[in-house]
Amino acid sequence: MNKLYLWGIIIAAAMLGATYATLGYLKNGLNGDIINILAIAGAAALVIITIFVVIKYVRQMQVDQASGELADESWDNIGEYKNPLPFGWAIMFLGTMVWGIWYWTIGYPVNAFSQIGQYNKEVKTLNSAFEKKYANIKGDELVNMGESVYLVECVACHGLNADGNNEKDAADLNQRISEKSVKYVINHGSNNLKSAYPGGMPAGMASGADVDKLAKYVAGGLKGEKPAAWATCAGCHGDNGKGQPFVAPDIAGWNQKFIVNILDNGKKGAIGKMPVMDRLNPKQKEAVAAYVMSLSEGE
pLDDT of residue 240: 93
Query: Residue 20: pLDDT above 70?
Result: yes
The one-letter code for the residue type at 42 is G
pLDDT of residue 143: 95
Helical spans, DSSP H, in the chain? 3-25, 34-63, 87-105, 115-133, 139-153, 155-158, 164-167, 179-188, 209-219, 230-237, 256-265, 282-295
Contact between 266 and 276 under an 8 Å Cβ cutoff? The reply is yes
Q: Name the DSSP class of 227.
A: P
Model pTM score: 0.60
Q: What residue spans define the domains of the chain?
A: 1-24+38-59, 85-133, 137-295
pLDDT digits (tens, 9 = 90+) for 145-188: 999 999 999 999 999 999 998 888 899 999 999 999 999 999 99
113: left (phi over 0), alpha (psi -120 to 50) or beta: beta
167: left (phi over 0), alpha (psi -120 to 50) or beta: left
Judge if the upstream peptide bond of residue 198 is cis by omega within 30 degrees of 0. no
C-alpha span between 235 and 213 (Å, rounded): 17
Query: Residue 66: pLDDT above 60?
Result: yes
pLDDT digits (tens, 9 = 90+) for 146-155: 999 999 999 9
| Mean pLDDT of the 271-279 span | 89
Residue 200 sits at the vertex; the CA angle it makes with 196 and 204, to the nearest 5 degrees, is: 155
Query: Residue 71: pLDDT above 90?
Result: no
Burial (CB count <10 Å: 0-12, 13-18, 19+), residue 269 = buried
pLDDT of residue 42: 86
